[in-house]
Amino acid sequence: MSTTTVTVTTAATAQPRPWLTTAIIWALLLTVPLWLPMLGGYTALAGRVLVLGLAAMSFNLLLGFTGVMSFGHAAYFGLGAYGAGLTLKYLTASTPLAIVAGVLLGGLAGTLFGPLIVRRRGVYFAMVTVAFGQIAFYVAYSWDSLTGGYDGLRGFSRAPLDLGFITVDITNNATTFYYFLLIVFGIATGLQALLLASPFGRTLVAIRENERRARFLGIPIERHIWMSFSISCAFTALAGALYALLNNFADPMGLHYSLSGEIVIMTVMGGMRAFWGPLVGAALFVVLQDYISSMTVNWMSFVGLIFVLVVLFFPRGLLGMLQKGTGK
């Protein structure tokens, strides 16, 4: 009886505590403007981590939780950036409307493109997504009159937030804009967490674990993958819209497959089976890029080496292995 009690108690205390990881991450994010300058960083760098972290977490809805690989997610990131930039430049100087326009453009593109590829699997699915991404890249690259071509879309800037009772200036103050990004990031990741905790999210994990068994249970696999793809594209487009606001600029490289590869690297480095893993991978990638690129133009070689080491020695990703080792 005593042995049974000890066993049950030990098993209970060894259960994962995702709230602890979440609390630590949010404590760090909320205090970034306080401690980052002491480490030689700057607030805009933290904003870039949030934006690319959101893109990687959005991509992870498809890869880590549905089990489907896409090498063309930069297309929706870039469409979100162009949607926001074009809205600010040609339609209205409204930051919220620019974000909505970017999400709608990227999300609609993913929704329309999804049914064409949901029956493909593995390398075929990945290659078709690359092809679509490159089509979007060359359209943006060639349409000089609208997108600015290779030079990118310029001549727009984020506008102050008019909340009715107060106007928040996010145009000049980097710290204020960082907290604006953090609020949007928090809303987006909260929605993602609710989605994954829902029956729909559990179904996606079932498809990832055993698609054949899920199909035998009567789950419409193609429809769920399509919905997962569409939602992932919409969140990725949100990250792209925020990226355009961060830089007051959008360019065709935001649609290029090289950015898709970087998003994959961030996700795998941080841990694609961990909810916050892609954010950790994005933080590592962005910091390494900023630091190493200041010393050599061959910074990607060093990042690639680190990526290979992580894959070899930490196959679950940095956060995934940490959670496994600590039980937290």
Identify which has the larger pLDDT, 84 or 132: 84
What is the bridge-based pairing of β-strands 167-168 and 161-162?
antiparallel
Say if residue 235's pLDDT is above 90.
Answer: yes
Answer yes or no: is pLDDT of 314 > 90. no
Q: If you average pLDDT over every residue of the chain, what do you get?
A: 87
Q: Please tell me whether residue 41 adopts helix, strand or coil conformation.
A: coil
> Cα(42)–Cα(39) distance, rounded to whole angstroms?
9
- Looking at the predicted structure, is the pLDDT value of residue 189 above 90? yes
270 neighbors 318 (Cβ within 8 angstroms):
yes
Alpha carbon distances (Å) from 115 to 32, 96, 112, 166, 240:
41, 29, 7, 44, 23
Phi, psi of 70 (to 5 degrees): -125, 130
Residue 264 has a pLDDT of 93
pLDDT over threshold 70, residue 12: no
- 89 band by pLDDT with thresholds 50, 70 and 90: very high
Asked if 269 and 305 touch (Cβ cutoff 8 Å), the reply is: no
pLDDT over 60 (residue 326): no
Instruction: Give the confidence band of 199 by pLDDT, cuts at 50, 70, 90.
Output: very high
Give how far the C-alpha of residue 30 lies from the chain's centroid of Cα atoms, to the nearest Å.
Answer: 19
Those residues whose C-beta lies under 8 Å from the C-beta of residue 152, and which sit 6 or more positions away, are 249, 250, 251, 252
User: In this structure, which CATH number among 3.30.460, 1.10.3470, 1.10.760, 1.10.3210 belongs to the domain 16-326?
Assistant: 1.10.3470
175 pLDDT higher than 80:
yes
pLDDT for position 324: 61
Q: What is the pLDDT of residues 118-128, one digit of tens each?
A: 888 778 888 88
What is the per-residue pLDDT across 278-304, written as a single tens digit (0 to 9) for each? 999 999 999 988 888 888 778 788 888
What's the rounded mean pLDDT across residues 194-220?
Answer: 92
Q: What span, in angstroms and rounded, lies between the C-alpha atoms of 272 and 319?
A: 9
pLDDT reported for residue 78: 95
- The per-residue pLDDT for 5 is 40
Give the separation between CA 128 and CA 131, rounded to whole angstroms: 5
Question: What average pLDDT does this structure show over 112-139?
Answer: 87
Q: Domain ranges for the chain, please list them.
A: 16-326
Comparing C-alpha atoms, which of 232, 160, 237, 220 is closest to residue 191? 232
Q: What is the reported pLDDT for 291?
A: 86
Output the six-digit token pair for 17.
Answer: 């505590």
How confident is the model at residue 300, as a pLDDT? 80
| The pLDDT of residue 4 is above 60 | no
